[in-house]
């Protein structure tokens, strides 16, 4: 066990952040020193292709409060954040981005709200001038759609930047799903929440690895993980189409008795066939999204693999699963499944 109880853990997923990490530590460390008695900064290197890991090791040698979890490959931000949460030992935990778009100046207000009794302190973007107009619009649409289709509701304009008490972190660690939509998981656990607003600045350096295709898949993961409405809607649509077909059949029967038989149109018949075939394919696609996630869950693979830990005490590392302890094809500890 650790000789000192850590008051605050900062979780920083990093992917190709060699240009930003130095400025991040320079900005965050003095603020934390003025706010809390003890802290740790856990940097999760998510398979970076630049010299992010080397830079992190260098900073660890200067400041042992900076700790490193080097993942075996790029698992994605949600998995990297989950790794950091699993490793964090602080009485409170704050996930942050390394690009300084999560302003460190907000940390004192978040910590003060926590000390006053809040179990979760949400950092809400009151203004997003650094984001493009298209990104702001699509983000607003996502929150509206999610609020109408899924439960629980995700607070609008709230990202991963938040403070969570230890009781909240322990609750998150009990959630076993492999498809990790962290914003939804954060909202699902609930607890006493307070909101602190801020204006989102520009990135300090580098460029984001997210594009609109990745954001679309990210939003799709969130919706499918927390809502069954896309599945249910096809049942109602099927009933609607069935009643419509019965009504149209009765109309044709009555018209035939009254006006006789006319020659059916090839174009209209083909249009109806193509329309309903398209609808069937869409419904199969929606079902496929859910089946794909069931497939990922039943395989029960680890969310992430840690290649090495730097800066953690030997007693801490002994208590945590080593990479060889995680079930794999070559591992005889693989469970019968």
**Band of residue 323 on the pLDDT scale cut at 50, 70, 90:** very low
Tell me the C-alpha distance between 68 and 6, whole Å.
16
The least confident of 50-59, 86-95, 106-115, 138-147 is 138-147
Host H or E run for residue 160: strand 158-165
Phi–psi pair at 135, nearest 5 degrees: -65, -40
Same domain, residue pair 146 and 293: no
Q: Degrees (nearest 5) of the Cα angle 54, 58, 64?
A: 125
Considering the domain boundaries, does residue 144 fall inside one? yes
Q: Degrees (nearest 5) of the Cα angle 217, 219, 223?
A: 115
Q: Taking 80 as the threshold, does the pLDDT of residue 94 lie above it?
A: yes
Phi–psi pair at 304, nearest 5 degrees: -155, 165
Same domain, residue pair 177 and 279: no
List the structure tokens of 101: 């778009």
List the structure tokens of 243: 């009643």
pLDDT in tens, 4-37: 678 889 999 988 888 888 888 888 888 888 888 8
Domain of residue 283: give its range: 229-299
CATH classification of the domain holding 55: 3.90.550.10
* DSSP string computed for 250-302: HHHHHHHHHH---PPPHHHHHHHHHHHHHHHHHHHHHHHHHHHHHHHHHHT--
Tell me the C-alpha distance between 163 and 191, whole Å.
12
Considering the domain boundaries, does residue 223 fall inside one? no
Give 323's DSSP letter. Answer: G
CB burial string 183-211: b at 16+ within 10 A, e below: bbbbbbbeeebbbbebebeeebbeeeeee
Same domain, residue pair 194 and 268: no
Q: Taking 80 as the threshold, does the pLDDT of residue 327 lie above it?
A: no
Tell me the C-alpha distance between 231 and 289, whole Å.
10
Peptide linkage before 152 cis (omega within 30 of 0): yes
The least confident of 36-40, 69-73, 160-164, 250-254 is 250-254
Same domain, residue pair 154 and 54: yes
Of 286, 232, 280, 312, which is closest to residue 9 (Cα–Cα)?
Answer: 312
The least confident of 137-141, 188-192, 319-323 is 319-323
Q: How many CB atoms lie within 10 A of CB 332?
A: 6
Query: Which pLDDT belongs to residue 148?
Result: 67
Considering the domain boundaries, does residue 218 fall inside one? no
Same domain, residue pair 137 and 258: no
CB burial string 140-167: b at 16+ within 10 A, e below: eebbeebeeebeeebbebbbbbbbbbee
List the structure tokens of 124: 């809400």
Same domain, residue pair 262 and 133: no
Query: Which pLDDT belongs to residue 261?
Result: 59
Give 140's DSSP letter. Answer: H
How many domains in the chain?
2
Q: Taking 60 as the threshold, does the pLDDT of residue 332 lie above it?
A: no
pLDDT in tens, 30-55: 888 888 888 888 989 988 888 888 88
Same domain, residue pair 267 and 179: no
Give alpha helix (H) positions in 162-265. 166-172, 182-189, 212-226, 229-259
Same domain, residue pair 92 and 121: yes
């Amino acid at each position: 066990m650790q000789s000192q109880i850590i008051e605050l853990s900062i979780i920083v997923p990093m992917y190709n952040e060699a240009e930003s990490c130095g400025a991040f530590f320079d900005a965050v460390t003095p603020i934390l020193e003025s706010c809390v008695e003890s802290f740790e900064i856990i940097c999760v290197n998510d398979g970076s292709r630049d010299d992010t890991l080397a830079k992190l090791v260098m900073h660890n040698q200067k400041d042992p409060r900076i700790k490193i979890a080097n993942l075996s490959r790029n698992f994605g931000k949600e998995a990297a954040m989950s790794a950091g949460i699993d490793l964090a030992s602080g009485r409170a935990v704050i996930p942050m981005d390394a690009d300084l778009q999560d302003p460190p100046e907000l940390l004192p207000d978040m910590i003060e709200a926590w000390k006053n009794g809040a179990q979760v302190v949400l950092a809400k973007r009151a203004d997003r001038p650094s984001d493009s107009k298209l990104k702001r619009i699509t983000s607003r649409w996502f929150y509206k759609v999610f609020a109408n289709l899924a439960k629980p509701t995700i607070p609008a304009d709230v990202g991963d930047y938040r403070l969570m008490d230890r009781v909240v972190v322990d609750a998150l660690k009990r959630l076993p799903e492999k498809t990790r939509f962290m914003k939804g998981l954060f909202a699902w656990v609930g607890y006493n929440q307070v909101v602190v607003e801020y204006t989102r600045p520009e990135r300090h350096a580098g460029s984001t690895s997210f594009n609109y295709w990745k954001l679309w898949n990210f939003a799709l993961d969130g919706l499918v993980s927390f809502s069954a409405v896309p599945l249910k809607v096809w049942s109602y649509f099927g009933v609607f189409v069935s009643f419509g077909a019965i009504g149209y059949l009765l109309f044709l029967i009555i018209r035939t008795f009254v006006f006789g038989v006319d020659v059916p149109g090839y174009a209209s018949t083909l249009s109806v066939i193509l329309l309903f075939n398209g609808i069937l394919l869409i419904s199969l696609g929606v079902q496929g999204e859910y089946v794909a996630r069931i497939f990922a869950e039943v395989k029960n693979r680890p969310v992430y693999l840690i290649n090495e830990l730097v800066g953690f005490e030997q007693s801490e590392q002994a208590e945590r699963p080593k990479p060889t302890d995680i079930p794999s094809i070559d591992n005889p500890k693989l469970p019968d499944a």
